[in-house]
């Protein structure tokens, strides 16, 4: 039986929608702690790194708060780490959006979505990409990371971004969407999961991801005792 009330921290870089993530986690039964304290992170059973806006803003905040190395150390523990939007983008080595190095937990780069594209009807495709897009998960459901279990193939999730992740290893791409070009919608690298879309803004199907994340944390916490 999975343990109850694991310690889940939501990292507050002051450059993220932490309260939306906190609210979503509470809605599925978690009791998250919003914090910028590296010690709280090291003591956590799982962590969420949200982000909005620019990658340099998030990386700069992580560096200033002394969180960059602790996040890397946390990822090495095997505990669940969920990264959202720009939180995903800073997992990679570098970004065309800024000058600061990323965390380097997922080899690859972040590239701007091409401008000047048109859709099938010839209408201009706006950048940033804002809205609902259909997501296709890699492999069959039995092969998915537990965070994506029981999510119907082709589900719609909410995106807000001008840049897209391009992992060096295609096997790290857990899901894709299309916006004129293929867009990495999610990555999985061991215990590290990132989504370009915002689960907390994606209705019930998005909440299912947070529910899965909580259940996975409970299972791992119980197994560690």
Catalytic choice (85, 129, 184, 211): 85
Known catalytic residue: 198? Answer: yes
- For residue 110, give the H/E element and its range: strand 108-112
Known catalytic residue: 83? Answer: no
Catalytic choice (22, 97, 200, 211): 200
- List the one residue out of 121, 153, 155 whose CA is nearest residue 140: 153
Catalytic choice (22, 83, 198, 211): 198
DSSP string, 51-86: --S-HHHHHHHHHHTT-HHHHHHHHTTT--EEEETH
Q: With beta carbons less than 8 A apart as the criterion, state whether 163 and 156 touch.
A: no
Backbone angles phi, psi at 79, to 5 degrees: -75, 155
d(CA 84, CA 51): 6
User: Which letter does DSSP use for residue 113 in this model?
Assistant: P
Which residues does the annotation mark as catalytic? 85, 198, 200
């Amino acid at each position: 039986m999975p343990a109850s009330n694991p310690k889940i921290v939501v990292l507050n870089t002051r450059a993220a929608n932490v309260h939306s993530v906190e609210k979503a986690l509470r809605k599925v039964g978690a009791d998250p702690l919003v914090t910028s304290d590296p010690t709280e992170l090291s003591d956590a059973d799982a962590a969420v790194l949200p982000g909005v806006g620019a990658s340099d803003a998030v990386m700069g905040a992580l560096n200033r708060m002394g969180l960059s190395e602790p996040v890397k150390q946390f990822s090495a523990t095997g505990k669940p780490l969920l990264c959202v939007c720009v939180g995903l983008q800073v997992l990679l080595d570098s970004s065309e959006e800024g000058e600061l190095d990323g965390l380097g937990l997922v080899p690859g780069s972040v590239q701007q979505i091409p401008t000047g594209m048109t859709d099938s009807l010839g209408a201009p495709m706006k950048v940033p990409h804002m809205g609902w897009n259909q997501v296709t998960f890699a492999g069959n459901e039995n092969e998915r990371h537990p965070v994506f279990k029981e999510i119907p193939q082709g589900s719609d999730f909410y995106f807000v971004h001008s840049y897209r992740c391009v992992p060096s290893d295609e096997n790290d791409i857990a899901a894709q969407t299309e916006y004129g070009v293929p867009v990495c919608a999610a990555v999985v690298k061991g215990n590290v999961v990132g989504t370009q879309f915002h689960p907390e803004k994606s209705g019930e199907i998005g909440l299912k991801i947070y529910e899965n994340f909580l259940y996975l944390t409970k299972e791992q916490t119980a197994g560690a005792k």
